Structure 1
Amino acid sequence: MQTLRIKTDGLTQQVLVSGPDDGPLVILIHGFPELAISWRAQVEALGAAGYRALAPDMRGYGGTDRPERREDHTILHLVGDMVDLVRSQGREHAFVVGHDWGAPVAWHCALIRPDMFRAVAALSVPFQPRIPKAPPTELMRALSKRLGLGDFYINQFQAEDAHLEFEADVAGALKRAFYSYDGATPQARRSNGFQSNGQTFLTAVGDDVTLPPWMSEAHFDEYVAAFTGSGFRGPLDWYRCIDLNWKLTAAFQDTRVTVPSAFLVGSSDPVRAYAGQHEAGLKNWATDLRRQMEIDGAGHWVQQERPGQVNAFLLEFLASL
């Protein structure tokens, strides 16, 4: 594997790369709070299988440029970055894979540019259709009130200074995030996304957290160093753009993902508590859904918790194309 810096339109992206220059192009999109290195096992496996695998640090993260304006982190910017990455390789087509926040980006790559992104695989987060009646944060507040579970973390992230809590203790914040969404964490201590009694995404976890079994100290130090340098403002701006995304994607209301697709989720992924409702109807929105798989006992960080199974899933799906 190599780490390259690739200049695209208005952005320089740091990218983890493996595989032959002329291999079929596969782009892997990470989520929050992750980096390209979360795909290390997949980049290696795909490259060894003859694919040209690229995993970028996404806009606002790690070694990639960090735009100052919040409104420069919309879903259209993120899809545009992936289009530019394909073009930077002299290509017209690619397969796209996304995890966590990267999954909605991957779904929208396939939704908006099916001519370029010929297939999509998503981990943890299924395609979530646009709901026309109200912006997402308004619907989330109504859901929180109806369930009586407290504040939903995405609503808390809308605050202008929400990123400062993460930056005050980068190592502590990352450790809490990884612990509270991991499959090895006792179920009672996994996050359900809602915080009560004035708690936040971080304080709700507690102090006695440990690194997940799959996370070495050296690997964790890579995350800490990267986020110490780049901060959390950009990553949280992704969340702070979700209502703007809702406005910008009105033209795609009721549009289906028509390219071949696949979806994988861990059985113990806490995100299923709020995004899992879309799993059952996924085939209605991804009309060429070819495989839907659950990995028993895996949590949210599925490609790092179960790299062998995820590699096999992706390679089988890509080979079928």
Structure 2
Amino acid sequence: MIEKTRISTPAGTFDALASGDEDGREVLLLHGFPQSSLEWEQQLRVLGGGGCRAVAPDQRGYSPGVRPEHVSDYRLEELVGDVAAIADELGWQRFDLVGHDWGAIVAWATAAAMPERVRTLTAVSVPHPAAFDHARATDEDQHERSRYITTFRQAGSAEKMLLADEADKLRRIYDWKVPEDHVEHYLDRFTQPGALTAALNWYRAMDLTGEVGPVEVPTLMVWSTEDNAIGSAGVLATEKHVTGPYRLEIVEDVSHWIPEEAPEELCRLLIEHLLAHRG
């Protein structure tokens, strides 16, 4: 059973979804854009029913209780600090970390910065930030795929564009691959005052150059062949940035929205990864 909960930290109070017994194996799941903790619905059910205590917070800007106004408040170091603060409040000294899209970037950075606390890392869709940044700069395919980032960084005009015509362009981002009830939930959230700006501030504060070092914890990278935003260049280069055990899994004929479009496959891979690394 999935429960709603709240997690108080020095930065504010995060809304979250959780599943499983309190004494289960600790798993923290970080969502991407433009989503929320709901994207992990199926993974929460499987993990919670499989001996884990799985928690998925609505991250900074997505939780109304942690929605600072300044772009600088959404720098990667602040997002990593939130992960540590949430784990502290949960009483977790060590935990498994799972992230998709922007959540994957935060997860990569957290694993690199706090290997003593992150038991395993599972990154879904987005490769190591250094590999991704290099691909954006040198690979024509990834450069083209990433053009939307420039649009999202334009304060005011990006919000207007995405929310026009009853949020038609925002709806189209999900590419009809995400369950309709999830889409309606997301749209309802992002049409609330200030919510979309807070989420877009992640892009406006983005600077991945040199920020994330190598990752030494056991790492699973999951990428899908029909991902419109992330090409193969950065994914294939990610192995160079992981010094610990590393596994790349490529899911065929699935779009960027792996947790919701292929939940069974992702759950299978995730459980295999956790069972292989119990330390």
TM-score where L is the length of structure 2: 0.89
Could you say if the C-alpha distance between residues 140 and 127 of structure 1 is closer, same or farther in structure 2, counting changes exceeding 3 Å?
closer
Which runs of structure 2 are paired with 1:77-96 in the superposition (5 Å)?
A: 77-96=78-97
Contact 2:125–2:224 under 8 Å retained in 1: yes
The CA deviation at 1:63 is 4.5
1:317 paired residue number: 273
2:217 paired residue number: 259
Contact 2:223–2:251 under 8 Å retained in 1: yes
Could you say if the C-alpha distance between residues 143 and 316 of structure 1 is closer, same or farther in structure 2, counting changes exceeding 3 Å?
closer
Q: How many residues align?
A: 274
Question: Which whole-Å CA distance do the structure 1 matches of 2:66 and 2:166 have between them?
Answer: 19
Could you say if the C-alpha distance between residues 239 and 97 of structure 1 is closer, same or farther in structure 2, counting changes exceeding 3 Å?
same
| Match 2:179 to one of 208, 212, 215 | 215
Question: Which whole-Å CA distance do the structure 1 matches of 2:129 and 2:145 have between them?
Answer: 23
Question: Which whole-Å CA distance do the structure 1 matches of 2:230 and 2:17 have between them?
Answer: 29
2:243 paired residue number: 287
Question: Which whole-Å CA distance do the structure 1 matches of 2:256 and 2:247 have between them?
Answer: 19
Which runs of structure 2 are paired with 1:6-21 in the superposition (5 Å)?
A: 6-21=7-22
RMSD over equivalenced CA pairs, Å: 2.6
Question: Which whole-Å CA distance do the structure 2 matches of 1:24 and 1:261 have between them?
Answer: 17
Q: How far does the alpha carbon of each residue in 1:1-59 deviate from its partner, in whole angstroms, 9 at most, with x for none?
A: 11112111122100000011011111111111111000000011100001110111111
TM-score where L is the length of structure 1: 0.78
Could you say if the C-alpha distance between residues 277 and 113 of structure 1 is closer, same or farther in structure 2, counting changes exceeding 3 Å?
same
Where structure 1 has 5 or more consecutive residues not aligned to the other structure, the ranges are 180-210
Q: How far does the alpha carbon of each residue in 1:78-133 deviate from its partner, in whole angstroms, 9 at most, with x for none?
A: 111110110011121111001011111000010011111121000101113279xx
The 4+ residue runs of structure 1 with deviation greater than 6 A are: 141-144
Q: How far does the alpha carbon of each residue in 1:208-233 deviate from its partner, in whole angstroms, 9 at most, with x for none?
A: xxx33x513x3322112111225311
2:199 paired residue number: 235
Q: How far does the alpha carbon of each residue in 1:141-193 deviate from its partner, in whole angstroms, 9 at most, with x for none?
A: 8977x9996981112222222223223345413321011xxxxxxxxxxxxxx
Which runs of structure 2 are paired with 1:29-178 in the superposition (5 Å)?
A: 29-129=30-130, 152-161=147-156, 162-169=158-165, 171-178=167-174
Q: Which amino acid aligns with 2:118?
A: F
Residue aligned with 1:280, SS:
helix
Query: What percentage of aligned pairs have identical amino acids?
Result: 31
Contact 1:140–1:155 under 8 Å retained in 2: no
Q: Which amino acid aligns with 1:221?
A: E
Could you say if the C-alpha distance between residues 299 and 9 of structure 1 is closer, same or farther in structure 2, counting changes exceeding 3 Å?
same
Question: Which whole-Å CA distance do the structure 1 matches of 2:15 and 2:144 have between them?
Answer: 39
Residue aligned with 1:259, SS:
coil
Question: Which whole-Å CA distance do the structure 2 matches of 1:128 and 1:148 have between them?
Answer: 14
